[in-house]
Amino acid sequence: MSNLQEYIKKNYQKGIAECSNEELYIALLNYTKLAKSTYYDALKKLSREDKYKGLKTLIHNICNKNHGRYFSAWSQSTVISSFIWP
């Protein structure tokens, strides 16, 4: 096979534009000779909730209050006292 487009046309009998995202992803895995478990692992990671969402929001708010700087003299104590670690 010379490229992915020819591989998809041969295996799915349609163009890249008509394929679903899952078909494209599986075709790419097959074309690169990766295992399907890699696909399902990627799906699992994408569907997981971000366990650091609260911390990221807090850091973003601190940066906004400090005009783009993460730490100032008072923000170090704010981070420690206002965030409960998971």
Q: Would you state the pLDDT for residue 81?
A: 53
Q: Both tokens of residue 24?
A: 């494209």
60 alpha-carbon distance from chain centroid: 19
Torsion angles phi and psi, residue 13, rounded to 5: 55, 40
pLDDT digits (tens, 9 = 90+) for 35-49: 878 778 887 888 888
Q: What is the pTM for the complete model shown?
A: 0.39
End-to-end CA distance of the chain: 49
Q: How far apart are CA 51 and CA 66, in angstroms?
A: 25
Q: Quick one: average pLDDT of 51-74?
A: 77
Q: pLDDT category, 70, cuts 50, 70, 90?
A: low
Q: How far apart are CA 43 and CA 48, in angstroms?
A: 9
- Answer yes or no: is pLDDT of 50 > 70: yes
- Answer yes or no: is pLDDT of 66 > 80: no
Q: At what angle do helices 21-32 and 4-12 cross, to 10 degrees?
A: 120
